[in-house]
Structures are given as structure tokens and as C-alpha cells.
A and B are shown apart, each in its own frame.
Chain A
């Protein structure tokens, strides 16, 4: 039998159900694996070993008592932006140092209700602002496929932990690509559900109208399971869409014969790394071989997406991050009066990228500039949404690269924020339009660096997206590939 830490979520559930291992065994295996490799990866910010083992034993007791649960006994780890009762939640920032969440995010509560063991906090760009995880105020995360390269961001820890077998699945958040881009860089599956599909209650907000929670997994079926469990209306989030969760596991195996797959011409007009383009074109051929019909589509407002995104996201962020003032929780630096305290606390507590975005967002909302920036961006956003509405009239799903290139090196883009922002070029439109998207591994650039295929579905048609992803995954050999690091550690570790 393979190492416990190499199992997919479904394989882990099978092993637990058969009794070949206990939740405590699995949890212990991950704790050992993390101890063995995480000093190299840096995915975890916090880990309570004793609590994790206690929760695992409780899950084992539940199983013994004949109680069920779709995730019973499976350890999962959370991006540090999600509130888990009793766990720290720093959002990768110094300003939330010392804050312990007093409540569970709805998505977390739903995982718990199905018996998941919530274990550890995963590293990220501070307040989910970044595309390389270099903006974590704690330490960088390294790409398990090449420790000299970034894992992507902002959910870099969540992606790297799954890729390095430190956890079988994790949660991240995606505001402009923060799940799909690191999933692509780290060679794992990453899903951003439609806006409103998963409750945002308990997800520390970056940009409220764009944020969604989603899973990182080793295979498509695992992502379908976690998406199902987390989805569905939540009375605590007015922007969540009422109604039951979609049935994804049942529908994803229906195949894609006759599916029309849209290829946006604006995405294939240069700016894309040749190796990435070759792998994506090969993936399209594979889909064609599976019975789908590729069609060219147009998303004419694509060129405005980055500007629109950075106006709306920073505007919302400037208000969302105002609450971090040292008054009620987290770090406080005393001042002579409240305003002085705010200035000192926020100056010391926020990193440069967060400050840059707060200033940008404050500017675009300020009196006299609102119409020129924020209001105009909202109008463009409506046009981008309409682009997708039109496109989905002629296809069931859209396929693009997840990122313009494979993982880049540390420090390569930190000097030029705009270059960094452009690495989100293929992902931000999904959030602006509120549709669903995911990245599945589609090969290796230069034979070593993972590349992700982005699959987009219409809003609330995650089923379309999963059908394409599952069919593609089953027909290719990328599933089960692991970084050399995993092999090394597999020999020497527990």
C-alpha cells in the first residue's frame, strides 16, 4: 500500500472505511510528513499537533459508534484567511497576530459536520493580496517542484501543502485567481466555485464581491466532493445563493461527447509562454478526442479586466481592511489618541503590498474620483459579465491556460507590481463575471514545472466544468504525479 500521505481524499476515505487505518494513523502520518518536509516548503503557519490527534481520535470513536460523515476522519488544512473556532487566523499578516477566531466559517462548519479533522493553518500572501506568496509577512512558501520558485498566490500554502503530500486536501480563497494560479503552479486541482455558491461567512474579506472559497485536491473527484459539502445557501451570507448544493460527483462522469468547448481568441493572442501554450493546445486536442467540439469565442473586454479588477478589488479592500485597527483584537500599538493608535498600528501591522492596495482603493473611492474610477469599473464589469453570457450561449465550458507561464522564480516580479498583477490575466475575469473556474494539471513545462488547464463554466454550472475536468483527468496521466521532493521524503520519512 502507498504511503498514507500519498492517498487522495477518496482513497483515504476508502482506507478508513475498510479499517486498514484509523484517522489517528492518517493524522499522525501527515504530522510526521509536515515535520519532515515543511521546513523546506513553508506551507504551514500554525499546527496544533495535540488538538489534531485528539480530533482524529474523536472521529475514530464516531466511526466505531457507527456514525457516518462524508469526510469522517479525513484531515484537512485551511488557508489562514478562514475562521476556525479556537485557531489563530492571521491572514498572513502581523496585524492579526494573537487573534484567535471565536467562530467557525460556514464552509468549515460544513466540513466539520461531515466529520473532517481540521488541522493547521496554511501560509498565504498577506490578506490574500499577491500572486507569489512572497507577500506573507511570516515566511515565503516554496514550490515543491522547484524550491527556487514560487508556489503562486495568494493561496500558495494551500497548493504547496497538497502538492508536497503534507495534506490530502486544503481550502483556499480566490478573489482574482488565488486558487487556480497556485494550483496550476503546484500541479494540483484547484476550484473557484461560482460567486454565491459557497458561503463567505467566516472568510476574512479581501474583496467582498469577488471572494470565493474553494478546495485544493489531488484529483477532480475530491474537489467535487468538497465543493458539494461546502455549497448551498447560508442565511448568514446574503450573497450566497439559496438552494441545495449541486450534484457533482454523480454528474461528472457523464462525459463530454457533444460538448462545445470555447477557446477565447483574446487569450491566445501572445503574452503566453510557448511551453504553456503547447500544453494547453494539446489538452484541447485531448478534449476533442473525447468527443468535445472546440469553438472559437470572443471575450472582447478582456483587455480592461486587470484595470477593472484592481479598481474594484482595492476599493472594497480599503473598506474591508479598515476594521484592523488594534481596538478589538490582534496587534495594537499604543498612541496618544485613537487616530495616532490607528496610524501606528496599521503602519506597523500591514505590509507594503497591502498598504499599496489600501491607498489605491481609498483613492478610487475618494470624492471627485469615484465616477472616473469605481463607477466606470462597475460599468466595465457589467460588460465583462455580458461577454461571458454571450460566449456561453455557444459553448458549455471555456478552456484557457490558468496562467501565462509556469512558476516563476523568487524576486522575479517583486520589483514591478504591474508585472505581478499581469500573472492574473487569465483568472480575474472569472471573478468579475461571477462564474466558476478551476485548474487541473495538464503537463509540465520543460518536463519539470506543472502547468494548469483552466476550465470555466457558466455561473452555477459547476457540473459542466467538472464533467470536462473529470473526463480530461481520466484520459491523461497527470494525476498522481508528485514532485521529486515527495519521492525523497518518501524514502527517508515516516
Chain B
């Protein structure tokens, strides 16, 4: 049996204000404090389209290779529910902002294209909370801009769906389209799944699982749902068209409603709004401001900085990290060295301290200067690590830190020769070990030179002088 999965991904857009009124589009706040007559659906209040939300949706469409409908419109989707202030949602029905398009996802051994059906803009609903003795509705979220991305049923399993969501999130974060904070519900999805015997068979009856808040949850729900459907079919049962709810704690899904109870949304054009008319010039202007997408950036960074593809992939995954890297790499001219610092110390310390790259004290300028100090052999690698740690913790100028801590590498042959002589005197046993073929003894001797130099000796020079003294 083969599963076919299509997603409807709801993305909260990063705008200052709500979709149709001037209230702040901000997560949290005391309940019902970011509200006005418009988003509360008061008598006589009228919607006005948020132009920034339109721009962000068009940007998303451009990033996903969609066709932008210069003429599009909003419609009313009618249904009664307490989280809906007007008991209709302003959405886009038959003329969405974007149609067509695709997103490439990364699987273990290959990439795969997932087709995008459409992207439209609508308003989010309020949040219901149930108490022991009643229910409360918080309208702070009501009317915030929500972009819905609908895919074709191109994903075969839960891993592909997960990869799609991950890749989509990366692009949305890259272009500052959404904060992409899953805990705050910035990205939620409905999943449509069906199974069929072979790829040649027509699609099976689809089952919709509503309102998944995490990618992990979507993955688990899908794994469960696909197995459930296969079991049903193998037992000779038909899959009814229905909407199901996933209980992530219990790891089971249950039916919400079947087709007979499907809503008739009675869509019709929103008479309070004029159709949206964009110009090609406007769209072109926005297109020119599109950020490079992660896959292209990865390739370019390999070319521009001569770094390994794997490193480029890791760095390009996050726009802020990639920006940081490129700035430091350009300043220092040593892309590979900068990449090494990013991949090792920077990533390790970011993870350990839970900091964002945008908030770190070590500036790209300081990192470039640190790389220069190493390249010039002013300091050696262990000293550089120490300096990096100080920069990460406190910031500042690497040169100054090297001075203050007396970390300047000793590369004076005379001075190091004295140390080498001392080490040879005190470690005759190791000298003999080396001469009898124990290569590791040389490393020990270099280590001793470093120890008595308090880490300041140039290790290459120490090694050369040692070899010269004990012969090879």
C-alpha cells in the first residue's frame, strides 16, 4: 500500500498589525487587550486589507516559484463558531494570491519536488479556553494575518511530510515572513492522507487530521494514520471521508465529523473589500528584494569560500548564522578558517549557552581578527581557543585580549632552543623511546616544551628544533 499526503499549512505572518485592523499582531498579552470593533466583529465595523500581509504572501509565492495572481480577491467563508467574531472568516476562495509552485525537500539519499497548489491569505480566529464552569474567548489572536499554503498530495510518508515542513519553515524564516515559532502556534497544519494499492491506482478516500501544532506531532500522527488506513483496507473495510482529531499524548486519532456533516461554507465575494489589484512592477520590485534561498546559498558559499558542502549546508540553514559567517569570511578573506570556527566553537557555545547568533558578544569583526592573529602565527591554536572563549563571553578586541593575557606566541628560535634543551635534559627516557621508533614520544616532548613555555611557544618551531636535536 502507498500513502499520499497533502498538507494545508497555516502560517502566521510577521506584520505589525492585524489583517484587517490596526490592532497589534503580537503574541500573548492579557486576554482581549489587542482588540477593537473590527476584530471583535462589532456592528458597523469594516475590514481594511493589510498591505504588508499581501506583500509577505507574494514574497512566499515568489520563493516557492508560484504564479502571482495580480488580480485576486477576498471572500466570506460562513460558519458559526465562538472563535469567529463575525461568524464568517474573510479568506480567499477562487482567486488566491498565488497558484502553482514547488518546494524541493531533502531526503536521506535524494531530493524530491513537492508541488504547491495555492497560497492564500485569511484571518486567524480567536482562542477558546474551557474552564470548569464555562468558556472564555481571547480575541487577541483574532484577525491576525494567516497565510495558507496548500500542497498537492505528493508526499509518500511521514518522513517526507516532516522534511517538507522543515524546508518550508527554513524558507519562511529566511525571508522574515514569519517568526516560525511553533510554541506560539506560528505554523500549524491540517494533514490530508489516503492510501492506495499501487502508484498507478487512483487516490484513495482522504482523511483530514486537523490542527497539528508541531512537526513531531504531525510525523507521529501520520505514521499512525497511515498504518490505521492500511489495516482498515487490508481487513476489507472502506475508508470513510472524514475529519479526525489527533491526541498526541495518547497517540491515537478519533473521528470529529464525517462527510454528511461537512460544512457548506457558502463562500461569496467579500463586499466590504475591493478586489486586490497588484501591478507587475510592484511584484518585480518585491522579487528584486527576495533573499537568496538556502539551497542556492549553500552552493554559492561552497564556491565563494571553498568550504565543504556539509559545512555550507549547516551554515546556510539559518539565515542569521549564514549572514554572520559571510561577514566574517569576507573581512578575513579566510573562509575555511572562519567556517572551522563557526562549525566547532561557535556552534558548541551557542548550543551550550542557548544563545541566538544575533545576540552573541563576539562580533564578525572580532572573529575575523582572531583568524588573522592565528594566520600571522601571533598566537597558536590553544591560545586562540582561549581568546575565542573570552570573546564569546565578554566581547572585545582579540589583539587586546592576547596582550592582556600574554598569549603572544614565542617564535624566537633562541628562546625556544633553550626550552628544547631543557626538555631534552629532563626527558632522556622519551628521547630514547623516540629513537627506538616510538613516534608518539615526539609529541610528548613537544607538549613538554609547550608546558614550560606556558603555552606560548610556537609548536611547529619547537617540533622542528626537537627533531633537529634528536635526529630522525
Contact = CB atoms under 8 A, between A and B. Distances in A.
Interface in A281-311: none
Interface string B76-118: 1010111001111000000000000000000000000000000
B264 A323 contact: no
Contacts of B80: 322, 325, 338-339, 342
B43 A327 contact: no
B36 to A, nearest CB: 8
A323 B46 contact: no
Given A89-B43, A325-B80, A362 B266 contact: yes
Interface in B103-161: 137
A205 interface: yes
Contacts of A91: 43
Contacts of A329: 42
Interface in A86-106: 89, 91, 96, 99, 101-103, 105
Given A102-B42, A201-B44, A238-B47, A208 B271 contact: yes
Contacts of B273: 238-239
A316 B273 CA distance: 13
Interface in B256-277: 264, 266-268, 271-274
A174 to B, nearest CB: 16
Given A89-B43, A96-B43, A339-B80, A367 B49 contact: no
Q: Mostly helix, strand, loop or mixed at chain B's interface?
A: loop
A34 B267 CA distance: 46
Interface in B412-434: none
Given A201-B46, A327-B82, A366 B272 contact: no
Nearest to A90: B43
A81 B47 CA distance: 18
A107 B271 CA distance: 20
Contacts of B42: 83, 101-103, 328-329
A271 B359 CA distance: 79
A110 to B, nearest CB: 15
A201 B264 CA distance: 29
Contacts of A96: 43
B45 A201 contact: yes
B37 interface: yes
Interface in B51-99: 76, 78, 80-82, 85-88
A319 interface: yes
B349 interface: no
B40 A365 contact: no
A102 B39 CA distance: 13
Contacts of A201: 44-46
B48 interface: yes
Contact of B46 (A81, A236, A318, A338): A236
A268 B449 CA distance: 115
A315 B37 contact: no
B48 A319 contact: no
A244 to B, nearest CB: 20
A237 interface: yes
Given A203-B44, A235-B48, A102 B87 contact: no
A327 B32 CA distance: 14
B37 A239 contact: no
A365 to B, nearest CB: 4
Contacts of A81: 44
B44 A236 contact: no
B85 A238 contact: no
Contacts of B87: 319, 322-323, 325
B121 to A, nearest CB: 15
B217 interface: no
A237 B46 contact: yes
**Interface hub of B42, B49, B137 (most chain A Cβ within 10 A):** B42
A82 B44 CA distance: 8
Nearest to B87: A322
A73 interface: no
B41 interface: yes
Interface in A356-403: 362, 365-367, 370, 374
Interface of A: 81-83, 89, 91, 96, 99, 101-103, 105, 200-205, 207-209, 235-239, 315-316, 318-319, 322-325, 327-329, 338-339, 342, 362, 365-367, 370, 374
Interface of B: 37, 40-49, 76, 78, 80-82, 85-88, 137, 264, 266-268, 271-274
10 contacts: A203-B44, A208-B271, A238-B49, A318-B266, A319-B266, A322-B80, A338-B80, A338-B82, A339-B80, A367-B266
Given A237-B48, A325-B82, 15 more contacts: A83-B37, A83-B43, A83-B44, A89-B43, A102-B37, A204-B43, A236-B46, A238-B48, A238-B274, A239-B46, A239-B272, A239-B274, A316-B271, A319-B268, A323-B86
**Closest 4 interchain pairs by CB?**
A322-B87, A208-B271, A204-B43, A365-B266
